[in-house]
Structure 1
């Protein structure tokens, strides 16, 4: 898939109004400008943003339940997939990010795109995010699956859909996690990389204890301490 094909894929799979197209374009331009100041995405993907990041994020909506609802994106980084989800759907998205420069970037991005109220930044480590249940949990290049489950299963019910792009290591991570967790997961192919996989499913239970501190919930929801 090349950039023109990525745009065509969006047209074919989403009813994208002109205003949303303009915001997607504005997001890409803002990201490219910010990338000169900090390493938001790999430099090798700057000329492939629509394929490697926009469509790679948007494809998760095909596996999401009917919205709107509450969506949490762990390790939001440059805003993928969380900001793309907020732009293309009615989901309300919490963007969890612990790095100060990324937090600042995400907050300015939401303001630039007029997404306040549709998305919010939880500027803190995931261990400190207040416990509540979400309809969807996503994470892109955040942590290996066993660690990710330990850190974030407290946000999940048996109906919560987990959407986890895992690249070419998806099968191995799933096999490792199943040693400790009762998972109803499948590996779905990525439209942007035929060798990459997306872990999709629900968590039914576990036979291990969550890592220390994951139930703390001490920080204010959705915002970092100032």
Structure 2
């Protein structure tokens, strides 16, 4: 007998991530939507779909565990919503804070709007290119991105926001080659760096960056 995605029981969320039952249910709803829309829109790599919960949702959930509280976020080029929509779902539990999801692709933006509606995430979609987002967004506290671009490009996108708010923190999920990306970025930028080891992807990290400045 074939198994429908709606019949799949999501794994338990590890205790160190510490979310309510309601938030866990919201995340499960979000996972179902990704699976449903994946058949018509390439939201994530098809080979990672069987590991959606661990590889994408729990991996993204680590970010909220690292920075809890009602921050105002910008998430860049998020496609399926990782990690920004996961953060927005967690903020629904907090009852404060917001995530601005920057996504210029109309089909992916439509998916994100439905996901926000179905999960009650504290988030909204900004359907512009990243280099146009500065004109539309208020001052933000934090920036996130996952599987989007090399670190040097992410810092270039983030720099105008850092100039506006020197206290801003940036959080970027990176894979096995992150050390080389950091070395290349340090040729162009000065920044503080904390490396948070991923609990779900061997060799991967979440880079926490602050005090971003360009070399003159």
Distance in 2, Cα, partners of 1:123 & 1:39 = 18
Q: Secondary structure at the match of 2:26?
A: helix
Q: TM-score, normalised by structure 1?
A: 0.82
Give the 5 Å matches for 1:11-26.
Answer: 11-17=15-21, 19-26=22-29
Partner of 1:96: 102
Cα distance change, pair 114–61 in 1 and its aligned pair in 2 (3 A): closer
Counterpart in the other structure of 1:52 = 55
Match of 1:127 among 113, 127, 131: 131
Which residue is equivalent to 2:31?
28
Residue deviations 1:80-104 (CA, integer Å, cap 9, x gap): 1111111123331000011111111
1:154 aligns with: 160
Seen in structure 2, the aligned counterparts of structure 1 residues 108 and 86 have a Cα distance that, compared at 3 Å, is same
Q: 1:134 deviation in Å?
A: 1.5
Which consecutive segments of 4 or more residues in structure 1 shift more than 6 A? none
Report 1 or 2 for greater relative contact order, CA contacts < 8 Å, sequence distance ≥ 6. 1
The aligned residue for residue 211 of structure 1 is none
Show the counterpart of 2:117: 111
What residue number does 1:138 align with? 144
Cα distance in 2 between the residues matched to 1:189 and 1:6? 21
**Once superposed, what is the RMSD of the aligned Cα atoms?**
2.0
Q: 1:108 and 1:13 mapped to 2: Cα distance?
A: 25
SS of 1:138's equivalent?
strand
Residues 7 and 92 of structure 1: is their aligned pair in 2 closer, same or farther, counting only changes over 3 Å? same
Distance 1:35 1:195, change over 3 A: same
| SS across alignment from 1:137 | strand
* Gap runs ≥5 in structure 2: 1-7
Q: Which moved more, 1:48-57 or 1:132-141?
A: 132-141
Shift of 1:62: 3.0
Give per-residue Cα distances to partners, 1:96-150, cap 9 Å, x unaligned.
01111111111121112233xx100011101111254311110111111111111
Q: 1:181 touches 1:203 (CA, 8 Å); kept in 2?
A: no
Aligned residues: 201
Shift of 1:14: 1.0
- The answer on 1:199 being equivalent to 2:214 is no
Q: Distance in 1 between matches of 2:61 and 2:16?
A: 12
SS of equivalent residue, structure 1 residue 32: helix
